[in-house]
Structure 1
Amino acid sequence: MASEPMASEPMRVLTVNPGSSSLKVSLLDLDDTVLAVESGTGHEMAPMVTDMPKPDAIGVRFVHGGTDFTEPVPIDAKVTEQLRDLADLAPLHQPASLHALSEITGALPGIPAVACFDTAFHTTLPDAAATYALPEQWRQRFTLRRYGFHGLSFSYAVRRTGELLGTIPPRMVVCHLGSGASLCAIAEGRSIDTTMGFTPLEGLVMASRAGSIDPGIPLWLIKHGLSAQDVNSALDRDSGLRGLAGTGDMRRIHELAGERDVNALAALDVYHHRLRACAAAMTASLGGLDALVFTGGIGEHDPSVRMRLAEDLAFLGVSVDPHRNTGVDGDADITSDDASVRTLVVAAREDLEIAAGTRRALAPR
């Protein structure tokens, strides 16, 4: 696992993006042309890169950087140990990223690797948004604060929205909707509020994560005989849409809802109730809304979710054109002609943010 900066840039970068339910590997050329891409649900790296050209550098997505990592950083043994210490704050992601790092550096020895962090985009959160109302000694001892996640996705969505519209809207709410999901309030390109917090459990209803719940519930469950480990596992893996409808697959939930399955219909209602409330809260943090942006697997590919949220936010001036909404293929402006808020769909390209961060981290100082 090398950590020495490269002699020059640009460079060919292999991006490694372990998600909560998937793994994607992309090789980007010097001009960010995608030379090769592999994806899967496992984390065995060697077969995925065997036939790819050799990269100059490797960039690995890490969900949690804590307070130590606010920029991409070359990886060495010390950094790896620090990343391992953060694993219990993102149990669905951090171990997967550490495993992928071990696999890819084993498959490609001697190539420098860089960690790129989802939390880094949210270092601009004001204290009022980042601070939990907890005892000061807890906040100081355990560094309890809202970190925010999906930062690589949000960062790209901001940049791409600026390219599509010719300027970055001053007040944006970006909706990263996938297996994991969160919203971000972005003022002048900077994160000022977000729905995920200390861990990726807070906020929206997700595929298998509960999102925000009364903190008394896990305490009550533990008091009544469940172990802390079982409660934590259930909140991460057996809750959310899976807990409501028996599946975390939104496509399957739509199918079941079409068959009038009561659990699927209820799951959609709960999902959209939380989504509407959080989107309105993000808008309140901004003091208004100029653009609503959808990204992530559901955000990009589910026109019914986009339409329903747009209808829920009509009072803010959001309205989407039905034909544009159903005809999305890649990046698109789906705003209706009479809307005061622009609504866009942006294909998630975390690989581009990882590559850019890797090049910055390895550039000569």
Structure 2
Amino acid sequence: MSHILVLNCGSSSVKFALINPQTAESLLTGLAENIGSKNCRVTFKAKEKLQKNIENGLYSDIFNELKKFLSKSGYLNKISAIGHRVVHGGQFFSESVLIDDDSLQKIKDCIPLAPLHNPAHIEGIAFCKQIFPDLPQVAVFDTAFHQTMPNYVAEYAIPRELTQDHNIRKYGAHGTSHKYVSQQAAKILAKQKANVIVAHLGNGCSITAVADGKSIDTSMGLTPLDGLVMGTRSGTIDPSIFAYISDNLGWDIAKITNTLNKKSGLLGICGHNDMREVSELAAKGDDLAKLAIEIFCHRVAKFVASYMIYFKEFDALVFTGGIGENAVNIRENIVSKLNNVGFEIDVEKNSKSDLFVNTSNSHKIMVIATNEELMIAQDTQKLI
């Protein structure tokens, strides 16, 4: 029986999962944190749990520890392939691909579009080739699902040379999650291909309109900074704010971009980036926490309402992600702003996070847990 090793390699962390794509069973999970620092540590969970500190541990150390743990757990010889989450595939990839010299070079060519992520993915691929030389590797792209967006959605109203010569367009993100959740919704609704709006709400947030099983619009743009208000990201703002801040405060582009990515969103409004903490403060009467929730929910509702223009027949609004799956109050707030476009929440069903949380008079509203690792494993299995 084949098992897929799923990897999500970041600049200072690596997430692992060993998955049976047929049964969806996760046999092993792991996380390496603070790679390259004195606080580097790796944690594995399988039949037993192992945590190990590796002072100043590097990527090579992490992958060697992974191989040791796989061997000790009896799984090393059961792996048939490795599936990598890759954040950006640009316009090169509309689906997952086997990693060879050509596809690897194209991932490298996309580094300017994901300078924090793609280099880490490339490093992870290289180490896997060294440590698991006989295993095929597959790249599963966050952007691939959104390559079906029509040009009038994906292209910006900027000079053509910027679009054509420098690949400046909407790419979106969270595509693996949106693909998985929309497919699950279709199965549950007994549809071959569903017409749904998926709201992936976590520390990072995005919304995608999926028509006939294909992404036709999404809230993130050239980068994951665009769109919804998030834990630390501003979401959509007036682009001239960059010039205004630079002219009046003397900040350079790097500082402004860092502020919008890491110090804005919920954190910028009320000082907390975790929606659970924000909700607790709001319940105690904190005005800034209340404001943060209203801004967050209003932005989500506005995107959902605007995406309804795409559908003659509509199947469901689907909530997923850490907030979407668990934050009862946030779902209720968002849907309350959508009553005029045919959505109404059932308070009792919503309080229990049922699969369907709509009233009988409403469009369907669903809560479906995402599983990006399983989607990566299944895509990988198809290609080997």
| TM interval, short-chain normalised | 0.7 to 0.9
Q: What is the number of residues matched between the two proteins?
A: 350
My pick for the range that moved more, 113-122 or 37-46, is 37-46
Does 1:208 pair with 2:235?
Answer: no
Q: Is the 8 A contact 2:233 2:261 kept in 1?
A: yes
Structure 2 residue identity aligned to 1:94:
N
Counterpart residue identity of residue 187, structure 2: E
Give the counterpart of 1:65 among 89, 104, 107. Answer: 89
Cα deviation for residue 184 of structure 1 reads 0.6
Alignment counterpart, residue 127 of structure 1, candidates 151, 154, 157: 151
Unaligned runs of 5+ in 2: 36-58
Q: Pick which of 28-37 and 252-261 moved more.
A: 28-37
Counterpart for residue 340 of structure 1: 362
Superposition pairs of residues 75-94 of structure 1, within 5 angstroms:
75-91=99-115, 93-94=117-118
| Paired residue secondary structure (1:145) | coil
Deviation readout 1:104-151 (Å, 9 max, x if unpaired): 555544422211001111111111111110111111111121111111
CA contact (8 A) 1:61 1:118 kept: yes
Contact between 1:21 and 1:179, CA under 8 Å: does it hold in 2?
A: no
Structure 1 residue aligned with 2:297: 272
**3-state DSSP of counterpart to 1:273:** helix
Q: Runs of 5+ in structure 1 lacking a partner?
A: 1-9
Matches within 5 A, 1:299-338: 299-328=324-353, 332-336=355-359, 338=360
Rate the CA distance shift 1:103–1:260 in 2: closer, same or farther, 3 A: farther
Q: Is 1:25 matched up with 2:16?
A: yes
1:117 aligns with 2:141: yes
Code of the residue aligned with 2:6 in structure 1: it is: T
**Identity percentage of aligned residues:** 36
Report the secondary structure of 1:208's partner residue: coil
- Aligned AA (2:145): F
Match of 2:377 in 1: 355
Does 2:54 match 1:36? no
**Cα offsets for 1:192-233 (capped at 9, x unmatched):** 111111111110001111110001111332344211111121
2:220 matched to 1:220? no
Question: Residue deviations 1:303-346, cap 9 Å, x none?
Answer: 111111111112222122222212237xx22222x233111111
State the distance in 2 between where 1:203 and 1:20 align.
Answer: 24
Task: Say if 2:321 and 2:369, in contact at 8 Å, map to a contact too.
Answer: yes
Contact kept? 2:201, 2:324, Cα under 8 Å: yes
CA distance in 2, matches of 1:88, 1:262: 40
Task: Name the SS of the counterpart of 2:183 in structure 1.
Answer: helix
Pick closer, same or farther for the CA change 1:205–1:126 going to 2, 3 Å: same
* Residue in structure 2 matched with residue 254 of structure 1 by the alignment: 279
| Structure-2 residue corresponding to 1:156 | 180
**In the alignment, does 2:282 pair up with 1:290?**
no
Range with greater deviation from structure 2 (292-301 or 31-40)? 31-40
Q: Match of 2:234, SS? A: coil
What secondary structure sits across from 1:284 in the alignment?
Answer: helix
Pairwise CA distance, 1:21: 10
Separation in 1, partners of 2:221, 2:211: 19
The whole-number CA distance in structure 2 between the counterparts of 1:132 and 1:215 is: 13
Q: Could you say what the CA RMSD is over the residues aligned between the two structures, in angstroms?
A: 2.5
Conservation of the 8 A alpha-carbon contact between 1:57 and 1:111: yes
**Greater RCO structure (CA 8 Å; 6+ sep):** 1
C-alpha deviation, 1:298, in angstroms: 0.9
Q: Shift of the alpha carbon at 1:76?
A: 3.9
Q: State how far apart, in whole Å, the 2-side matches of 1:229 and 1:243 are.
A: 17
CA displacement, residues 22-70 of structure 1 (integer Å, 9 cap, x when unaligned):
7542211252322222246556643456433122211111121001122
Once the two structures are superposed, the pairs formed by residues 92-103 of structure 1 within 5 Å of their partners are 93-102=117-126
Task: For 1:19 and 1:207, locate their aligned partners in 2 and report how far apart those are by CA, in whole Å.
Answer: 19
Which aligned pairs between 1:155-194 and structure 2 lie closer than 5 A? Answer: 155-167=179-191, 170-194=194-218
CA distance in 1, matches of 2:9, 2:346: 34
Change (3 A) 1:99 1:36: same
Q: Partners of 2:119 and 2:267 in 1: how far apart? A: 22
Instruction: Mark the CA change 1:131 to 1:41 in structure 2 (over 3 Å): closer, same or farther.
Output: same
Summarize the Cα distance change of 1:295–1:344 in structure 2 as closer, same or farther, 3 Å threshold. same
Larger Rg: 2
The separation in 2 between residues aligned to 1:161 and 1:135, in whole angstroms, is 39
TM-score (norm 1): 0.87
Counterpart CA distance in 2 for 1:17 and 1:145 is: 25
Question: How far apart are the structure 1 equivalents of 2:256 and 2:322?
Answer: 27
Q: Structure 1 pair 36/141, CA: closer, same or farther in 2 (3 Å)?
A: same
* TM-score, scaled to structure 2: 0.83
